[in-house]
Structure 1
Amino acid sequence: MKYIRHQFEVMKAVALVTYKEWSAYRTHSMVSIFVGPVYFIVQYFIWTSAYGGKAEINGMQLSQIITYFGASTLIGYLTMDFADWNLQMLIQTGKFLTFSLRPIHHRFFAFSQKVGHRFLGLLFEFIPCYLIFSLLFGVEMIPKRIGWTLLSVAFAFLMNFYVHYILGMTAFWFIQSSGIRRVFDLLSGVFSGAFIPLVFFPEAVQRVLFFLPFPYMSYVPAMVFTGEFHLAGINMPIPTIVGLQGIAVGVVIILSELIYKASMHHFNGVGV
């Protein structure tokens, strides 16, 4: 219990420092107040035109599509991650070495940084855009299953962090890993459901996506928000898909630990 309390205090301290540091540049975050609604408006007109009066397409009604993109945008503000970029910079500049002298695991430090950074995003991105979507656009932005939605967003928060941290660790082998990151960002944008709901992909692709991390980063929490989940022709109860999302997060956490240990052996071996 004492250890947990100590870790919580450390996380709170790092998160607070990160919040204060980034709050000096909060105008950067506030740009999202304009970008988010503009993206939403574009999606609204595209999908309104695509439906053309149809009741539903691929099992999704127009109202569900609109709610989906609103939820996807808002969830993105809460789960956005930069651990890969930070870790790559530390490795390239040699500053990662200093963390071997600190009484804190770098991954925990990076996670604490994300907590502080995303709390800033909650205040200056999520809340303003939530009000714009709800009051200005009249979209019902209340989750159908609040408890399950919160849990799914928490899992998405973890999935985004651990996946990006794994990407950052590639810099231990490839000092310049920005190319890998760009490829991943492209794949993530396409296959996480950020650009288009995954039910519009061929069914064979949808089945494969169950075994990749991408859907659990955005599509799953957004669909849980709407109160329904279906993919690859499977209509899955909300508790079941959230449980599957939790299992996926657990697998990625274990993978992250294995890669971290291998990275440390490589780091100590070659003296990067």
Structure 2
Amino acid sequence: MMGVSTIRRIFTTELQQQAVRKVDVIIGFFFLWVPILLHIFLWQAVYDINGNAGSQLGYTLPQMITYFVLTLMCQRLVGVQIHRLLNHQIIQGDLNRFMVQPLSHLGFHYTRNAAEKFSQFTYLLVPAAVLLLVFRENIVTPTVVNAALFALALLLSIALNFLIYYALGLLGFWFGRANQIMMFATALISLIDGSRFPLSLLPTVIQEVSWYLPFQYIFYFPIRIFIGAETPETIRNGLLIETVWIVIFYVLVRIFWSRGLKRFGAFGG
């Protein structure tokens, strides 16, 4: 376990590092406008050509545009590379210092991730404000309640996604360079987390199954809250399921870490 002072120091240090590379971050967000504008113009054209698109797809034009635009933004806040870093550390033996120091590897990297996401969130405020101002007719403005619930669901999705990919990175204890496995898992998750398209466009059976899996809570569920596509009941149940999955993956990560370290130590790191 890490103390509050340690967490604060790690968080502050990562914020300083993010400030150093702020030019790269700003350039990255500048290029984010290209896919955002493409989605806006694309869906405007689709709905103009097909007057029944709203009823066929189940979303109004503002909801559809907001869904894809918000997905692009949320990918910056939720996406992680911890699985690649962790796999590299296992292969290179860089975990040794965490075995001798009273510092939680999970806590250390999650705190760094939280600081990174906080920094990226501040940079996202400007494009978000511009979107609401310039494209306000084609962007959903959520209610205060939906905005708050979206923020809560997004915070949970950041934790859930981090734990999912952290667990994926731990495969390195057993499979060594697990690049191919991680690439396959990442591609599969991206198909069922709602980042490519709304899962409501899939067959009903797949939608019902995905409701109980953790992946739709990474993007699909939080964004549906934002655009007002979820009912109070489904929001309550979804937040509960999302929280349960966070607990499950946390327990799995602790088990994998404990057993993996024994294997790591047995082979000399």
1:268 aligned partner, one-letter code: G
Q: Determine the C-alpha separation between the residues in 2 that align with 1:99 and 1:67.
A: 42
Contact 1:43–1:69, Cα closer than 8 Å, also in 2:
yes
Q: Determine the C-alpha separation between the residues in 1 that align with 2:28 and 2:215.
A: 23
1:215-263 alpha-carbon deviations (Å, 9 max, x no partner): 1111111111112238xxxx95322222222222222222222222221
Contact 1:14–1:113, Cα closer than 8 Å, also in 2:
yes
Equivalent position of 1:265 in the other structure: 262
1:217 matched to 2:218? The reply is yes
Contact 1:149–1:224, Cα closer than 8 Å, also in 2:
yes
Q: Determine the C-alpha separation between the residues in 2 that align with 1:53 and 1:32.
A: 36
Contact 1:36–1:129, Cα closer than 8 Å, also in 2:
no
Task: Show the 5 A alignment for 1:31-70.
Answer: 31-51=27-47, 52-54=50-52, 55-70=54-69
Equivalent position of 1:176 in the other structure: 177
1:134 aligned partner, one-letter code: L
Question: How far is 1:193 from its partner?
Answer: 1.0
Task: Show the 5 A alignment for 1:65-84.
Answer: 65-84=64-83
Range with greater deviation from structure 2 (109-118 or 76-85): 76-85
1:218 aligned partner, one-letter code: F
Equivalent position of 2:246 in the other structure: 249
Gapped runs of 5+ residues in structure 2?
A: none
Equivalent position of 1:185 in the other structure: 186
Q: Determine the C-alpha separation between the residues in 2 that align with 1:153 and 1:206.
A: 20
1:129 matched to 2:127? The reply is yes
Equivalent position of 2:235 in the other structure: 238
Contact 2:14–2:112, Cα closer than 8 Å, also in 1:
yes
Q: Determine the C-alpha separation between the residues in 1 that align with 2:189 and 2:32.
A: 18
Equivalent position of 1:116 in the other structure: 115
Q: Determine the C-alpha separation between the residues in 1 that align with 2:74 and 2:45.
A: 25
Report the CA distance shift for 1:20/1:141 in structure 2 as closer, same or farther (over 3 A): farther
1:18 matched to 2:14? The reply is yes
With normalisation by structure 1, the TM-score equals: 0.87
Report the CA distance shift for 1:200/1:154 in structure 2 as closer, same or farther (over 3 A): same
1:173-200 alpha-carbon deviations (Å, 9 max, x no partner): 1221222222222222221111111111
With normalisation by structure 2, the TM-score equals: 0.88
Report how many aligned residue pairs link the two structures. Answer: 263
Equivalent position of 2:161 in the other structure: 160
Report the CA distance shift for 1:221/1:128 in structure 2 as closer, same or farther (over 3 A): same
Root-mean-square deviation (CA, aligned residues, Å) is 2.2
2:134 aligned partner, one-letter code: L
1:249 aligned partner, one-letter code: I
Q: Determine the C-alpha separation between the residues in 2 that align with 1:104 and 1:50.
A: 53
Any idea what SS the aligned residue of 1:29 has?
A: helix
Q: Determine the C-alpha separation between the residues in 2 that align with 1:173 and 1:112.
A: 26
Q: Determine the C-alpha separation between the residues in 2 that align with 1:117 and 1:72.
A: 18
Any idea what SS the aligned residue of 2:33 has?
A: helix
2:106 aligned partner, one-letter code: R
Equivalent position of 1:7 in the other structure: 3
1:17 aligned partner, one-letter code: T
Gapped runs of 5+ residues in structure 1?
A: none
Contact 1:33–1:128, Cα closer than 8 Å, also in 2:
no
Equivalent position of 1:92 in the other structure: 91
Any idea what SS the aligned residue of 1:237 has?
A: helix
Question: How far is 1:142 from its partner?
Answer: 4.1
Contact 2:77–2:121, Cα closer than 8 Å, also in 1:
yes
Contact 1:37–1:132, Cα closer than 8 Å, also in 2:
no
The list of structure 1 runs, each at least 4 consecutive aligned residues, that deviate by more than 6 angstroms after superposition, is: none
Equivalent position of 2:196 in the other structure: 195
Question: How far is 1:128 from its partner?
Answer: 2.4
